Structure 1
Amino acid sequence: MFFLGIDIGKRHHEAALIDDNGKQIGKSLRFSNSKAGSDRLLDFINQHQLLPDNTLIGLEATGHYWLSVFSFLTALDFQVVPFNPIQSDTLRNFYLRKTKTDTIDAVLIAQVIRMDLPDQTYIHSEDHIRLKKLSRFRYSLVDQASDLKRQVIASLDQVFPEYEQLFSDMFGKSSTQLLLQSPLPEDLLEIDAESLITLLNEASQGRLTRDKSSEKVAQLHTLAKDSFGIRVATDVYKLQIQLLLEQLVLLEKQIQLVEQEMNEQIVDQDFHLTTITGIGPVTAATIIGEIGDIHRFERPNQLLAFAGLDASVHQSGDFTASRNKLSKRGSPYLRRAIWQAAFVAAFRDPALSLYYQSLRKRGKHHGTAIGAVCRKLVNIIFAIWTQDKPYEPHINPELSKD
């Protein structure tokens, strides 16, 4: 039996071959992450007469760079074991000399699968890959939009600090249209009241009546007249605010398109997740995309660890820490989706809100209580997904007495 270890890199990979005794066969192969590189790997395989029935191949699932190599080798019918880099780090730590090279790593990977075959990294189905890519792309857009909002607020605080008093949502349609046209106090004062009333009324699509728009415009003019904003380089601030808002409007349209696609993808495979308080189609799509097949987890605590919502234990000698933080070693996207769902459920779900309040009464910090709700939520997700049943809140009678 032969064992081929492949160390994955961004532009180049390294492959090393060992036999049953762990002895390296020949020199390692360095090949590029390209079609020409895959041809070199195939020549290496043929040179050593490696076949699907006499060779096991292992590689680290590093970022996304391993996927093309994995696809190439599985198409040749080889058994390929992608695994978490932490597993090969464990073996690497046995070596006293902290030498790290691509060649040594490739040999170590081969030794890992020869000595103790690690658990394979789960490979998502095509449907799950779609959801995973969409949800992660959405999060990147949402984060970009949040950053743009912070920049707009920072600029507006300098030229028109009183503005935030006027709108409950500074980035709502009415406020956004107003700022796109007139972000400075002097801009607002140059526009007659009737034009501003019409702008607000149309931008809100009638939700802001003309009477309320008239009241809002009067407040705008009053605050603009007495604004304590700076009076230097205001033209630059104006340009910055307008351009940032234009980017924000575009991003929000893109987010809507991505969410629409996620909603369509989730229609036939929500696994009753949307019956859970705090989990809508978009959050459900994120959870499913990150988890893939729930049946690869035998117990809820495995799913908890995968989300990085388990506690990290700090122990040294006879000392064990009494306060442990989240390990945060799992999927950050899954953890973020569950945390957001838990935040809603803690105040709206009849059972989970009671649980949250009971923790708060015991003196637990808000974040600690939400973390506990997250763990409850993971158990609920695991149960309804594996049992294929809609969620039904079960109120703890002991908590309802409080």
Structure 2
Amino acid sequence: MYLVGIDIGKLKHSFCLLEKETGEILVEPVFFKNNRDGFNALLSSFKHLPQKDILIGMEDTGHYNLALLKFLLDRNYQVALINPVATNLTRKMQGGISKNDKLDTLTICDVLASNQRVKSYRISKYSSFDLYEQKQLTREHHNLKEEENQLSNRLQKCIDVVFPEFNSLFKSKYGIVYMNILKEFGSADAIAHADIRTLRKCFDTGRGKHISLTAQELKEAARNSIGFPSSSEATQIKHLVARIELIKEQIAEIDKKIEEFSIQNNSPILSIPGISH
């Protein structure tokens, strides 16, 4: 069995090659670039060896290893992803303290050669890229929802300044009419001085649905509002509404892709009541 230890970097990686049974180092630790020429140079170092006898190991370092991992899996090499904690512990047991890229390639080989019953690595499969895609999509969904909540809180703060009574006029927040009015006018003062025909356009949802509030009632409420006519807050409201609407569109796009992966996986977890895509 031949072991290839690869230490992952951003612009360049390093690797070494040794024989497991004898511990003989066949290729001393050396750097190669993180590009196709570098990857081909890596393969040329052990292309003379039987592919089925080669085990390649690298740390599971997030995203820096993805391009190289796919390159190797595309060529049917067996690749082990190692927990960085295992590499660190092995380095310390060998007396090393600081990280050294070239020497770490040998440490990675030591982890691969370990006879421990519970291995400190897992053999990567091509399906892991689908898992990566799903993780990224759900993380993006989470990040967008957090950003939407932050923007919504800022929006409510601005509304409290320029039109404190605004929310009480609607049964629910963030509907089409609700957002149209904020995006178009941004304050009670602007609504109070608006042309009633322009105001009515904000009530047109284009879906045949109507709300109990009328344009005239909204205009009257704006006239009697105790809100502070702040142009800066009104400008912020218009910007915040536009950003919230954009994020909602992005969340819908992300959720559609998540559902596509979910249908493809056909996981039995979806049979549990309350669990959706």
1:255 Cα deviation after fit = 2.2
In structure 1, stretches of 5+ residues that fail to align are 282-402
Amino acid at match of 1:226: S
Aligned-pair CA distance for 1:188: 1.2
Please report how far the alpha carbon of residue 38 of structure 1 lies from its aligned counterpart in structure 2 after TM superposition.
0.9
Residue 260 of structure 1 aligns with an amino acid whose one-letter code is K
Q: In structure 1, the residue corresponding to 2:93 is in which secondary structure?
A: coil
What does the per-residue CA deviation read over 1:275-311, in whole Å, with 9 as the maximum and x for residues that have no partner?
3232122xxxxxxxxxxxxxxxxxxxxxxxxxxxxxx
Aligned residue number for residue 247 of structure 1: 243
- How much has 1:192 moved relative to structure 2? 4.9
Q: Which residue does 1:5 correspond to in 2? A: 5
Out of 118, 121, 129, the residue aligned to residue 120 of structure 2 is: 118
Match for residue 189 of structure 1?
192
Q: How does 1:336-347 map to 2 (within 5 A)?
A: none
Residue of structure 1 equivalent to 2:15: 15
Counterpart Cα distance in 1 of 2:152 and 2:4: 50
Q: Distance in 2 between matches of 1:54 and 1:268?
A: 34
Distance across 2 between alignment mates of 1:123 and 1:159: 57
Q: What is aligned with 1:361?
A: none
Question: Aligned to 1:45, what secondary structure does the other structure show?
Answer: coil
| Residue 39 of structure 1: aligned partner | 40
Report the equivalent of 1:68. Answer: 67
CA distance in structure 1 between the aligned counterparts of 2:98 and 2:265, rounded to whole angstroms: 47
Give me the identity figure in percent.
Answer: 24
Note the C-alpha offset of 1:129.
5.3
Q: Which of 1 and 2 has higher RCO (CA within 8 Å, sep 6+)?
A: 2
Aligned match of 2:82: 83
Q: Is the 8 A contact 1:22 1:114 kept in 2?
A: no
TM-aligned CA deviation for residue 23 of structure 1? 5.2
Tell me which amino acid in the other structure corresponds to 2:79: V
Gaps of 5+ in 2: none
- Tell me how far apart the structure 2 counterparts of residues 131 and 190 of structure 1 sit (CA, whole Å): 50
Name the counterpart of 1:322: none
Deviations 1:120-163 (A, max 9, x none): 15535265555444434433433333333233234334433443
Q: Aligned residue pairs: how many? A: 272
Q: 1:160 to 1:101 in 2, by over 3 A?
A: farther
Higher strand proportion (structure 1 or 2): 2
The answer (yes or no) to whether the contact 2:16–2:25 under 8 Å persists in 1 is: yes
Contact 2:163 2:225 in 1 (8 A): no
Distance in 1 between residues matched to 2:148 and 2:210, nearest whole Å: 25
TM-score (normalizing by structure 2): 0.81
Q: Which amino acid aligns with 1:66?
A: N
Q: Which residue of 2 is the match for residue 180 of structure 1?
A: 183
- Name the amino acid aligned to 1:55: I
Instruction: Check conservation: 1:51, 1:78, Cα contact below 8 A.
Output: no
Among 154, 162, 166, the residue aligned to 1:159: 162
Task: Name the counterpart of 1:28.
Answer: 29
Residue type at the aligned position of 1:275: S
* Paired position in structure 2 for 1:266: 262
Equivalent-residue separation in structure 2 for 1:121 and 1:2 (angstroms): 15
**1:284-295 correspondence runs (5 A):** none
Q: Following TM superposition, by how much is the alpha carbon of 1:107 offset from its aligned partner in structure 2, in angstroms?
A: 1.6
Cα distance in 2 for residues equivalent to 1:220 and 1:108? 73
Moved over 6 A (4+): none
Aligned partners of 1:162, 1:145: CA distance in 2, in Å?
Answer: 23
Based on CA coordinates, which of the two structures has the bigger radius of gyration?
2
